[in-house]
Amino acid sequence: MQYCPKCEIRILGRKTCCPLCQGELSGEPENHVYPPMKKNRMSGVSFYRIIHFVFIVLEIIFGAIGLLRGFSGWITLGMIITLLVWLDFWLVFYYRNNFLKLFSIEVYLAMLVCLFVDYRWTGLRWSFEWMIPSAFLFLTVFTAVIAAIMHLKLEDYVIYVLWNAICCCLQIPPVLLGLNRTPYPAVIVTAGVLIYTAAILIFKTNSVRRASGKWLHL
Ligand SMILES: [Zn+2]
């Protein structure tokens, strides 16, 4: 054990000088009290930077090929897919500790992608009619299931329920405008989501009030 004659203290482990007076120590040093930490070969930050770099390089390569050979269908698709995967990487990185938020954003992102693909290649047929109603049904049911599995209090996830209900209502204008030629799924899912939300607003008023206080800082 090492010893500082000036401070008259004994010191555990292996020190080059006294931690109090910085003076010389006598006695034999021992092994380290705590095992030395292994250094990560690649830190989180550099991994994060490498991923961003790879995506930027991919976009530049697609852009360069596009400029030389023309922006054909697969070049544009490649650029869009790379951009989406990159965006998704950001989302997962930022919301990795909030599974419900991450899950909701992913579903909305998938809806937007399907809407774009449907608009671009099939002329808005299956997205309004089947895909978006199914996505809202899935989102509402799974929000409740995830909340139950994670033992979340209603006030912690009611904001997602309200937000989903508001977004679900956006399916109604296409029905009114006659853009949705098979309106049954959209109307039935919207009605179901609104009934579920109304039940929460009316029967769980206290939770909703606490949540709104938290969100609006009332
Ligand atoms: Zn000392």
Report the separation in Å between the CA atom of 15 and the middle of ligand 1, taken as the mean of its atom positions: 11
- Residues 218 and 212 sit within 8 Å (Cβ to Cβ): yes
Q: Please report the pLDDT score of residue 78 as a whole number.
A: 87
Report the separation in Å between the CA atom of 30 and the middle of ligand 1, taken as the mean of its atom positions: 17
Q: Which of 170, 167, 153, 161 is nearest to 195 (CA)?
A: 161
User: SS3 for 61?
Assistant: helix
Does the structure show a pLDDT above 60 at 92? Answer: yes
The whole-number average pLDDT for the span 71-75 is: 81
pTM of the model: 0.68
The pLDDT tens digits for 129-139 are 899 999 999 99
Looking from the CA of 161 toward its CB, the CA atoms found within 13 Å total 26
The whole-number average pLDDT for the span 142-164 is: 90
Report the separation in Å between the CA atom of 70 and the middle of ligand 1, taken as the mean of its atom positions: 74
Q: What percent of the chain has pLDDT over 90?
A: 38
The whole-number average pLDDT for the span 153-159 is: 87
Q: Give the whole-angstrom CA distance, residue 130 versus residue 180.
A: 10
Q: Give the whole-angstrom CA distance, residue 128 versus residue 131.
A: 7
Query: Which residues are CB-neighbours of 93 under 8 A, at least 6 positions away?
Result: 48
The whole-number average pLDDT for the span 97-106 is: 88
Report the separation in Å between the CA atom of 8 and the middle of ligand 1, taken as the mean of its atom positions: 7
Does the structure show a pLDDT above 80 at 100? Answer: yes
Q: Please report the pLDDT score of residue 204 as a whole number.
A: 87
Query: Which residues are CB-neighbours of 86 under 8 A, at least 6 positions away?
Result: 52, 55, 59
The whole-number average pLDDT for the span 192-206 is: 92
- Residues 153 and 207 sit within 8 Å (Cβ to Cβ): yes
Report the separation in Å between the CA atom of 22 and the middle of ligand 1, taken as the mean of its atom positions: 6
Give bridge partners of residue 2 from the DSSP assignment: 11
C-alpha dist (Å) from residue 21 to 24, 26, 123, 170: 9, 14, 79, 71
Instruction: Compute the C-alpha angle 204/207/209, nearest 5°.
Output: 105
Q: 């360069």: which residue's tokens? A: 64
The whole-number average pLDDT for the span 108-127 is: 86
Question: pLDDT grade, residue 29 (50/70/90)?
Answer: confident
Report the separation in Å between the CA atom of 31 and the middle of ligand 1, taken as the mean of its atom positions: 20
How far, in whole angstroms, is CA 53 from its chain's centroid?
21
Q: Give the whole-angstrom CA distance, residue 216 versus residue 218.
A: 5
Does the structure show a pLDDT above 70 at 40? Answer: no
